[in-house]
Structure 1
Amino acid sequence: MLRSIATFLCLRCQPVTALPLNLRSRATHSVAENQQTVEALYDLSVDIQKVRKLKGWVLLQSPAYTKEVAELLKNMGASGPIIAHILTSHPEAVLCNPEQIYTQKELWISVCPNQRELVGIIEKFPASFFTSSSHHDNQRNNISYFQSLNLNKRVITKLMASAPQSFSRPVEHNELMVHTLQQAYQELGGEEANMKIWLQKLLSQNPFVLLKPPEVLKENFLFLRDKGFSTPQLLHLLSRLKGFVTELNPDSMRRTLLYSQDTIGCSETELRDIILRCPALLYYPESTLAERFEGLLSAGISMCQITETPTVLELTTQIVNYRIQRLKARGYDIRTGSLEVLNGTKKDFEMSFGKLQLRRERPLFNPVAPLKADD
C-alpha cells in the first residue's frame, strides 16, 4: 500500500515540458496521464496547461468521462466557451460517473427554475454541482426539509450553491440550527407572520450560518444582553446582522467594544446607540477599526461627525479617500458637510454625487422665470 502511494506521488511530481507557444501539440507529457482525457479536453478548448499546473492529478485518473460530461452540459444549454470554462476551473467534473451527474441534475432541477439558470450556477459553483454520489440522499432530504419551510426556490438554490456542505450532511443538523434561529427570533419578540421572510433573508445573506453550532448564537446573545442591550435591541441586531451574528464570539466583541469606547470617548449607553446604528462595529477587529478611524480623522473629519454617521466605518480607508477626493474636486467640504454622502455602495455614492453636482450646476438666477412685482 505504502509503495503504491509513493509511486503515485512520484508520478505526480514528474516534470512537465512546456508546450511551444506556436504549437498545439497533443503529445503525452507524462506516461501516467490518461491520453484520452487530455485529447478530449483539447478538443473542448480547455486550458490544459492550467489544469496541469493546478490540478494535474485529474489527468492521471481512469476512468474519466470527459465527453459524456461535456455532452450533458451541452444538452442543458451550455455553450462551448462555458463548458471549457467549467472544465478548466473544475476538471474533477470529468471523473463523475454520468449516472451520478444525471441524478444530481434531477435534484437541482427540483429547486432551480430552469436549466438555463442551472447552467449559470454550475458555471459559478462547479464544485457544488459535481459532488460525490454518497451525498445524494442527504441532499434529497435537505431539499425536502427546506421546501417544507416554504422557502423560495431561489433561496434554496443559493444555499445549495454557496454552502454545499450544509446539504451534504444529515438533515438533522440543519433542522437544529433553523429551529435555534426561529426560537431566538420568537423569544426576542419577532412576529410569527414575518418569520418566513426574515429566515429567507438571513439564509440568503449568509448561507454559512447553517454550518455554525447553535451554541454560538446563544452565547453571543447572552454576552450582548449582559452588555445592556434590551430584548427589542437584540432583535434589531439579529435582523441587521442577519446570519453574521454567528460569526462573532464574546472575546472578540469584548475587545472591539472596549476599543471603540476608548477611541470615541463615549459612555456605554452612547456606544450601544452607535452599535444599533452600525452593527458592523461588533465584528471588525481592532486593527481594522484603528485604520479606519485614523483615515477619517486624518482627512479632517471630526469624531462627532463619525458618531453621527457611524456607518461610514463600514467603508475601507481607500474607498473613503477616493470619495473624499471626488467630492473635494466638486467643491464639497467633507469637514463641514454631512458624511451621509460618503455612505453606501458604489451605486449609492454615484447617485448622491450626481444629485450634489446637479444642485451645484443649477443656476441661482433663471432669466426665463418671471420677475416678482412689488406689491
Structure 2
Amino acid sequence: MLRIIATSLCLRCQRAPALPLNLRPCATLHSEENQQTVEALYDLSVDIQKVRKLKGWVLHQSPAYTKEVADLLMDMGASGPIIARILAVHPEAVLCNPEKIQAQKELWMSVCPSQRELVGIIEKFPASFFTSSSHHDNQRNNIAYFQSLNLNKRIITKLMASAPQSFSRPIEQNELMVRTLQEAYRELGGEEANMKVWLQKLLSQNPFVLLKPPEVLRQNLLFLRDKGFSTAELLRLLSNLRGFVTELNPDNMHRTLTYSQEAIGCSEAELRDIVLRCPALLYYPESILAERFKGLLSAGIRMSLITATPTVMELTTQIVNYRIQRLKTLGYDVRTGSLEVLNGTKKDFETSCGKLQLRRERPLFNPVAPLRGDD
C-alpha cells in the first residue's frame, strides 16, 4: 500500500509530536496557549476542551487566522454551529493563510456545483479541503485530467474529498492507474460504450483504488484466471469487488479460498459460483471466516443454507445473532427458512421484520364477512 501523503495546508498543520519544530517554519510554537486563538474559538462556540484533548498543539501556534477562516466559511454559507464543528474537528485550519484558503475554494468550485455543497464537503472532510498550497498545481492538473475523461463533476468532487492524496500527487501516477483499469476492462470483454459509467462507478465506490500499484491489479487477475474464472466472471468480480481486488494479493486469496473450500466441503467449480455471489469471501481473512461460519452453524443453520445465501457471511457474528433472535420473536425460524431475511442493511432488515409482524398480526378470517348460517 502506498504511503499516505500528508494533507495539512502547511507543515505546521500537522501534529506537533510528529514533526520537529524546524520542519514547521511557518508557525511559532509557544510554551503557553495563544490567548487570541483561544478567545476567538470561544467566541465561535468551538469545543475548546475537545481541541485541547485531541490537538492541543494548535492552541500554542502563532500566527493564527481564526476570525479570517471563520469569516471565509461564513461567506460560503456556513452557519455558526457548522463552523464550530469544523474547527473543533480540524482546528489546524486556523493556522492556514486566508489567501491560500481562498485559492483552494476557487479550485474546488471549478468542480463543485455550489458553495452550499462545498460547505457540506468541508464539514465532512475538513482535512481534504485544507490541503497544502504546494499541491495546488497537482490538484489543478488532476482535476483537468479527470474532466478530460468526461467524469461527472460530482464524482470528481467525491474523489477530491474522500481520497485527497490522489489529487495531491503528480498526474502521471493517476494516468497510469486509470489506463491500467481501462486496459483490464477491455481485455475482460467490457463494452467500450459502457467504459465511462463503469469507471465512474468503480472510482466512486472505492476512490483509493487510484493509490494502488497497477501491477497489483494484474497479479490478482492472473491468479483468479488460474483459479478457473472466465473473462466475463473476472469482469464481474472487478466490478462487484468495488476495486478491492487491488487491495488483495495472490497469497491471501489462496489461503482464503482453500479454507472456504474445506469449510464448505465443495468442489472448485462450486466455490467459484459461491465467490461470484459473495465476492467478500475473497478478502475476508481466515480468522473472520472461521468465526462467522462457527456462529452460523452453532445457531443451527445448515451449511447448505449458508451456501444458498453466501452474502450472509458479510455480516458480523454479533449482527447475525441479534437478527436471529429478533426473527425468533416474530415466529421466523432461520433454520428452516431462507437466510435472505438476514441480509441487507439495518433498514432492509427492519423492513423485513415489519412485514413479518404484519403477517403475524393478520387475522386468519375476515371479521367483516357475513357469517354463514346453518342450512
- After TM superposition, the score normalised by the length of structure 1 is 0.89
CA distance, structure 1, for counterparts of residue 351 and residue 213 of structure 2: 41
Q: Return 5+ residue gaps in structure 1 as ranges.
A: 1-7, 13-29
Partner of 1:221: 221
Shift of 1:368: 4.2
Partner of 1:233: 233
Partner of 2:95: 95
Deviations 1:302-322 (A, max 9, x none): 001001110100011111111
Deviations 1:155-208 (A, max 9, x none): 111111100000000111111111111111111011111111111111111110
Partner of 2:108: 108
Do residues 54 (structure 1) and 54 (structure 2) align?
yes
Aligned residues: 346
CA contact under 8 A between 2:31 and 2:60: conserved in structure 1? no
1:196-275 equivalences under 5 Å are 196-275=196-275
Shift of 1:369: 5.3
CA distance, structure 2, for counterparts of residue 164 and residue 278 of structure 1: 30
Q: 1:52 to 1:293 in 2, by over 3 A?
A: same
1:122-161 equivalences under 5 Å are 122-161=122-161
CA distance, structure 2, for counterparts of residue 108 and residue 246 of structure 1: 28
Please say which of residues 346-355 and 77-86 is displaced more in the overlay: 346-355
Counterpart amino acid of residue 271 in structure 2: L
Shift of 1:242: 1.6
CA distance, structure 2, for counterparts of residue 254 and residue 371 of structure 1: 67
CA distance, structure 2, for counterparts of residue 314 and residue 107 of structure 1: 39
Greater RCO structure (CA 8 Å; 6+ sep): 2
Partner of 2:10: none
Shift of 1:95: 1.1
- SS of 2:142's equivalent in the other structure is helix
Shift of 1:230: 0.8
Counterpart amino acid of residue 342 in structure 1: L
Do residues 43 (structure 1) and 43 (structure 2) align?
yes
Q: Return 5+ residue gaps in structure 2 as ranges.
A: 1-15, 21-29
1:1-375 equivalences under 5 Å are 31-368=31-368
Shift of 1:277: 0.6
CA distance, structure 2, for counterparts of residue 72 and residue 363 of structure 1: 62
- SS of 2:336's equivalent in the other structure is coil
Q: Sequence identity of aligned pairs in percent? A: 84
- After TM superposition, the score normalised by the length of structure 2 is 0.89
CA distance, structure 1, for counterparts of residue 187 and residue 341 of structure 2: 37
Counterpart amino acid of residue 208 in structure 1: F
Shift of 1:272: 0.6
Partner of 2:8: none
- SS of 2:196's equivalent in the other structure is helix
CA distance, structure 2, for counterparts of residue 52 and residue 346 of structure 1: 36
CA distance, structure 2, for counterparts of residue 107 and residue 66 of structure 1: 22
CA distance, structure 2, for counterparts of residue 31 and residue 246 of structure 1: 46
CA distance, structure 2, for counterparts of residue 33 and residue 355 of structure 1: 58
Deviations 1:259-318 (A, max 9, x none): 101100111111011001100100000111011000000110000100111010001111
Please say which of residues 188-197 and 34-43 is displaced more in the overlay: 34-43
Please say which of residues 161-170 and 147-156 is displaced more in the overlay: 147-156
